[in-house]
Structure 1
């Protein structure tokens, strides 16, 4: 091999080495930038997640012991035969109203299926004999029901009946969707029937203006959530 050829070969090899080294540096730098970018994206996601979590309101519900003790020491009342079906025959000695912040499909009653108070109860107040008779009289009248209700159910007012400090019935009321539930059937809720006797039979169980007014009046006395309800004619 001639000296010129040998020299040319060395130059080519040096160029190849320099190209490999340069390429490695570029690749390493690119990887560093990519890793740095990924780290920054993860940091942003983490920060956003923390922000989202901090934006969720924390409901400080009353503790179970506090709720249980309140039931024990609440004053007793007597059932009133004039309150209408089914409460005229229900044996209870206390009714306690509960103000709770419910989300759809989370909690639809004050006391769950396991007999425990739900953790989002914000207020509790026993009903006097006068308050109990007034609201029960309204809730058993046909004139309180017969309007449409929405599919959602986010109750804020619960009425729990106790006998010897044990639950015998509970009612949950949602004025946002204009509906209610009761563990003991209230016949007046189903008096307005459509398509009776057919497969598509259904009842309008939503509150009328009279029914809504009775609920709102009670909440005003107790300083509960529905005390500031929007005008009853527009609340469906």
Structure 2
């Protein structure tokens, strides 16, 4: 699988028009080439709502290339600017098919910058420590990716779903252990979370709202 990250800045007041056009023409064209859009997100905290992001999965680069006809000039009436890049998955998320019960109304979009030498250990800390803890708190990991292009430092992209801003705050592991969470899961999550922070050169996060499409 190959994943497309599409960042879109909409013209003011064009969110509803953009979503309607995407549902009517763009999404069916994507699906006709075997693609599937995992999420359509709009800025909530850290960006205005006109700052959008979509993650779309394609079977391969040939399918992605064929699907580019879906993004025609008719979209220009809604869009100010957009940029696209390719991502590759590096963990057991995203799932091949994402069930409805895994979806959340809000997503943390986080970008990490690490040494390429630390990538495997970074993924280990995420999969074996942090993710079990926050999923025990009813968050859901949508996916973990890195860029197809090799860079130094290396960028890692994480999308995690939450029920709302307050739920996001609850998962920060800064306070006492919630009673419903197993102590081993909690302690391992905090330990490996600290190890992951130690590997992180810098990181950046914004909270986004998932739009129904």
Q: Could you tell me the TM-score, scaled by structure 2's length?
A: 0.28
The structure where strand makes up a greater share of residues is 2
Say which one has the larger Rg: 1
Higher relative contact order (CA 8 A, sep 6+): 2
The structure where helix makes up a greater share of residues is 1
Q: Could you tell me the TM-score, scaled by structure 1's length?
A: 0.26
